[in-house]
């Protein structure tokens, strides 16, 4: 998730043929570098291009040859190379951004620089950090999440803003007889404007297009110790739990959670209700997230291996179980059965996000509506299917309230298309 770019010893040389990020043993990294008429470079990408098929067709028409893989990274690389080699990298990147407005956060590594790029909608996060030696800044780091900085003597500097192109480089400083890392904003590419159908007089009106950071980063993806928009993800999730308690209280003995991403929400729910928060599961830390497994079979096998029950905290107890989301419905049913088999008298479910009803075309593994359990069953049908005593979700309005309450710096707006079906851009 992170690339580090530090100042180099004065004896080192940096040329287009010797990238500054390469280790001494070049054999381990050369395969990731591309040699093109634009020079040698590499691309790292987080996100999913919403108009990838159209861009692939354009490249096929222009170059007469298709791509060798289905990866967006190869497509981005080809887009960067379609401009004249005489153009600077900022112009090449700006051209690509004009052709595709979302969804991507990019690192582009050239012979003498790293370019950190966030799409004009800011859909995926991207953070800048300062690498420290004592109190001295000796270099810079780039990461999707700020949590990556904590173990590397790096402090969060700021987020890359929507549409921003940031250049990190090493500049020779003769007066210091050496080199120093530098960071600068090369450009900020605006979002495309939108037009409403018409106003009261029949005239078309241009409307501002708001940024659209993925709200699911707060709900599920990001680590709780990461920071976006001047607030920690942990605090947002705790507020989601408190808001959920306000909307859907429950008369029980204790509050617990499906570890680990829902733990802050469960603690917020418990605090708001004046109930004890008690752990009821022991998680096998060597099993990955079931939601992001590529098949239903792998997800179901993962659930069976993932949790053990702390029986003395469960037997004869009325439990409200907090989870961050229900996507395909593979996990919660077996979990409720597990609690009942260990003596729980009641199991209530509260979800600290709204129902997922729409596919995401911007980087989340939700390709079809048919996969989403909220589109298959009503709330009552789902409650019965999960064998729960009650079931409730956080409202869309409640989620936005919890997220926006702590946006103290540079709030940029949020994409909730997976919840509402309102996409920030027109889809191919």
For residue 310, what pLDDT is reported?
94
Binding-site positions for Mg(2+) read 261, 323-324
Q: Is the pLDDT of residue 241 over 60?
A: yes
Based on the domain organization, do 172 and 242 belong to the same domain? Answer: no
Q: What is the rounded CA–CA span in Å between residue 418 and residue 357?
A: 6
Among the listed residues 162, 161, 116, the one whose alpha carbon sits nearest the alpha carbon of residue 5: 116
Q: How many CA atoms lie within 13 A of 414 on its CB side?
A: 22
Q: Does 86 share its domain with 158?
A: yes
pLDDT at 31: 42
Contacts of 80 (CB under 8 A, 6+ apart): 38, 41, 43, 92, 93, 96, 108
| 189 & 275 share domain | no
Q: Which pLDDT band, with edges at 50, 70 and 90, does 204 fall under?
A: very low
Specify the pLDDT at position 371. Answer: 86
Q: Is the pLDDT of residue 59 over 50?
A: yes
Minimum mean pLDDT range among 4-18, 339-353, 356-370, 384-398: 4-18
User: Which domain does 405 fall in, by range?
Assistant: 216-420
Q: What is the pLDDT of residue 62?
A: 81
Binding site residues for [4Fe-4S] cluster, as ranges? 214, 360, 415, 418
Which has more pLDDT, 282 or 25?
282
Contacts of 297 (CB under 8 A, 6+ apart): none
Is there a domain that residue 46 lies in?
A: yes
One domain for residues 244 and 168: no
What is the CATH number for 250?
A: 3.40.50.2020
Cα-Cα-Cα-Cα torsion 94, 96, 99, 104, nearest 10 degrees, comes to -100
CA distance 409 to 149: 20
Strands 34-36 and 39-47: antiparallel
- pLDDT at position 334 over 90: no
Residue 202 zone, left/alpha/beta (φ > 0; ψ -120 to 50; rest):
left
Percent of residues, the chain, with pLDDT higher than 90: 61
Residue ranges at the known binding site = 214, 261, 323-324, 360, 415, 418
CATH number (domain holding residue 103): 3.60.20.10
pLDDT tops 70 at residue 261? yes
């Amino acid at each position: 998730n992170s690339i580090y770019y530090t100042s180099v010893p004065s004896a080192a040389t940096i040329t287009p043929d010797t990238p500054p990020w390469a280790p001494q043993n070049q054999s381990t990294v050369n395969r990731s570098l591309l040699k093109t008429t634009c020079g040698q470079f590499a691309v790292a990408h987080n996100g999913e291009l919403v108009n990838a098929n159209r861009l692939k067709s354009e490249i096929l028409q222009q170059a007469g040859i298709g791509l060798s893989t289905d990866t967006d990274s190869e497509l981005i690389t080809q887009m960067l190379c379609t401009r004249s080699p005489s153009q600077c990298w900022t112009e090449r990147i700006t051209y690509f951004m004009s052709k595709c407005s979302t969804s991507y956060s990019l690192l582009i590594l050239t012979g003498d620089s790293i370019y950190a790029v966030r799409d004009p909608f800011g859909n995926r996060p991207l953070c800048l950090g300062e690498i420290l030696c004592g109190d001295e800044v000796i270099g810079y780091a780039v990461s999707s999440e700020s949590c990556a900085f904590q173990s590397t003597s790096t402090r969060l500097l700021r987020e890359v803003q929507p549409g921003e192109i940031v250049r990190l480089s090493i500049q020779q400083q003769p007066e210091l007889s050496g080199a120093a890392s530098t960071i600068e904003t090369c450009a900020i590419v605006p979002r495309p404007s939108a037009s409403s159908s018409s106003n009261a007089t029949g005239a078309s009106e241009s409307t501002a297009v708001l940024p659209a950071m993925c709200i699911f980063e707060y709900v599920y993806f990001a680590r709780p110790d990461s920071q976006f928009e001047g607030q920690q993800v942990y605090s947002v999730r705790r507020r989601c739990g408190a808001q959920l308690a306000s909307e859907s209280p429950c008369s029980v003995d204790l509050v617990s959670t499906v570890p680990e991403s829902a733990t802050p929400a469960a603690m917020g729910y418990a605090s708001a209700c004046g109930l004890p928060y008690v752990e009821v599961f022991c998680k096998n830390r060597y099993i990955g997230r079931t939601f992001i497994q590529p098949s239903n079979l792998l997800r179901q096998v993962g659930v069976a291996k993932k949790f053990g029950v702390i029986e003395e905290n469960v037997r004869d107890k009325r439990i409200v179980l907090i989870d961050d989301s229900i996507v395909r419905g593979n996990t919660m049913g077996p979990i409720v059965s597990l609690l009942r088999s260990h003596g729980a008298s009641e199991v209530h479910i509260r979800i600290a996000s709204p129902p997922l009803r729409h596919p995401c075309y911007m980087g989340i593994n939700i390709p079809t509506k048919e996969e989403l359990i909220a589109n298959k069953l009503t709330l009552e049908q789902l409650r019965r299917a999960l064998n729960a005593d009650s079931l409730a979700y956080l409202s869309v309005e409640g989620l936005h309230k919890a997220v926006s309450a702590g946006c103290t710096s540079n709030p940029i707006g949020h994409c909730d298309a997976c919840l509402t079906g309102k996409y920030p851009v027109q889809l191919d």
